[in-house]
């Protein structure tokens, strides 16, 4: 099986401490396996909705990287399916022991992708989808895991707020925090060399078709209005 060096911060730190070569390896995410897909974007933009559509249409092609988080489960969220809901001290310990590919503090909670989360998808022969924040995307970019990076934008800030409220899963205080963070995340979507594609989620079906096009799942190149993709260098997708 194919192995490659996963240069996580833990591996780099161990190399420094030990002053010798430290190699950590993972399997199956390089070579014949298709590149994992990293999807980022502000809270409420529709990342989960798009990913759910993709997984429903292509259950044997894609697998979701189930992250760990210290946030409380929402109604209908299942432990081990949507997230691995974890205690902070246990998660911090696992991070310090090098079990995570990346982690970040987001909206006041700790989130992270364990190496096992990615491997369990690739072990099934599926293409891995990661729903992670911009900091996480940066960490994965800096690691040797080659992936495709997609940032999902809302058509406007007002629409983002509307969706977040309509979802009804957060308190007013949490909504305000997520909206504040959204501005910073939207600014960072333009960081040079970070995202390969910006996808505007205005009309859901049009956006989904464009996502499929990006992933070469749709080769009939249908026109889609209300949603566009920028290849290569990310440029502002709209102004707030
Ligand atoms: N860095 C990182 N971010 C994550 C991970 N899992 C989820 N996130 C991000 O954490 C943020 C909050 O996720 P969540 O609490 O599910 O709220 P939502 O974005 O409103 O659905 C989102 O930006 C996710 O993309 C992870 O493993 N690592
Ligand atoms: N294109 C869209 N138009 C209108 N509502 C949308 C669209 N995409 C998603 N939604 C709705 O917006 C809310 C937030 O979507 P969700 O997938 O939970 O966002 P995220 O995972 O990015 O936080 C959900 O209630 C979802 O049904």
pLDDT digits (tens, 9 = 90+) for 149-159: 999 999 999 99
Q: Report pLDDT for 233.
A: 36
Q: C-alpha angle 212/217/221, rounded to 5°?
A: 75
Q: Judge whether 119 lies within some domain.
A: no
Count of domains forming the chain: 1
Lowest-confidence segment of 82-96, 97-111, 133-147, 213-227 by average pLDDT:
213-227
65: Cβ contacts below 8 Å, ≥ 6 apart: 36, 113, 117, 118, 121, 128, 129, 130, 131
pTM for this model (two decimals)? 0.86
In this prediction, residue 62 has a pLDDT band, given cuts at 50, 70 and 90, of very high
Best of 131, 139, 141 for a ligand 1 pocket test (most atoms within 8 Å of beta carbon): 131
Is residue 21 pLDDT above 70, yes or no?
A: no
**Average per-residue pLDDT for the chain:** 85
Closest ligand (CA of 65): 1
Q: Judge whether 109 lies within some domain.
A: no
- Confirm whether 141 is a catalytic residue: no
Best of 67, 78, 138, 149 for a ligand 1 pocket test (most atoms within 8 Å of beta carbon): 67
As a whole number, mean pLDDT of residues 121-130 equals 94
Q: Judge whether 24 lies within some domain.
A: yes
Higher per-residue confidence, 33 vs 49: 49
Q: Judge whether 177 lies within some domain.
A: yes
As a whole number, mean pLDDT of residues 211-216 equals 95
Between the CA of 136 and the centroid of ligand 1 the distance, in Å, is 9
Query: Cα–Cα distance between 218 and 103 in angstroms, integer?
Result: 33
Q: Judge whether 230 lies within some domain.
A: yes
In this prediction, residue 227 has a pLDDT band, given cuts at 50, 70 and 90, of very low
Query: Cα–Cα distance between 165 and 197 in angstroms, integer?
Result: 27
Q: Which of 141, 167, 180, 183 is catalytic?
A: 167
**What does residue 30 show for φ and ψ, rounded to 5 degrees?**
-130, 165
As a whole number, mean pLDDT of residues 110-126 equals 94
Closest ligand (CA of 199): 2
C-alpha of 225 from chain center: 25
188-200 tens-digit pLDDT: 999 999 999 999 9
Is residue 211 pLDDT above 90, yes or no?
A: yes
Classify 74 in phi/psi space as left (phi over 0), alpha (psi -120 to 50) or beta.
Answer: beta
Contact 126, 118 (CB under 8 A): no
Q: Judge whether 30 lies within some domain.
A: yes
Q: Judge whether 84 lies within some domain.
A: no
Query: Cα–Cα distance between 199 and 2 in angstroms, integer?
Result: 32
Lowest-confidence segment of 100-109, 127-136, 230-239 by average pLDDT:
230-239
Q: Beta strand pairing status for 68-69 and 84-85?
A: parallel
Q: Which of 74, 88, 180, 183 is catalytic?
A: 74
Query: Cα–Cα distance between 139 and 8 in angstroms, integer?
Result: 8
Q: Judge whether 141 lies within some domain.
A: yes
Say what the alpha-carbon torsion angle 211, 39, 70, 170 is, to the nearest 10 degrees: -50
Q: Which domain holds residue 152?
A: 9-65+126-239
- CATH number, domain of 44, equals 3.40.50.300
Contact 128, 9 (CB under 8 A): no
């Amino acid at each position: 099986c194919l192995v490659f060096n996963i240069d996580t911060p833990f591996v780099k730190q161990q190399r420094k401490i030990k002053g010798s070569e430290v190699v950590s390896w993972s399997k199956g995410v390089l070579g014949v396996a298709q590149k994992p897909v990293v999807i980022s974007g502000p809270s409420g933009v529709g990342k989960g909705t798009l990913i759910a559509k993709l997984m429903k249409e292509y259950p044997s092609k894609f697998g979701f990287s189930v992250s760990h988080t210290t946030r409380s489960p929402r109604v209908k969220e299942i432990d081990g399916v949507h997230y691995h809901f974890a205690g902070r001290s246990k998660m911090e310990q696992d991070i310090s022991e090098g079990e995570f590919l990346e982690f970040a503090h987001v909206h006041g909670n700790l989130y992270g992708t364990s190496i096992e989360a990615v491997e369990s998808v690739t072990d099934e022969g599926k293409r891995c989808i990661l729903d992670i924040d911009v900091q996480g995307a940066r960490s994965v970019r800096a690691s040797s895991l080659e992936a495709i990076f997609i940032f999902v934008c809302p058509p406007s800030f007002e629409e983002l707020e509307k969706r977040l409220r309509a979802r009804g899963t957060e308190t007013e205080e949490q909504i305000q925090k997520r909206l504040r963070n959204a501005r910073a995340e939207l600014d960072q979507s333009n960081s040079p060399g970070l995202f390969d594609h910006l996808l505007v989620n205005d009309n859901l079906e049009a956006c989904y078709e464009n996502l499929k096009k990006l992933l070469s799942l749709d080769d009939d190149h249908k026109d889609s209005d209300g949603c566009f993709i920028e290849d290569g260098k990310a440029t502002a997708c709209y102004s707030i």
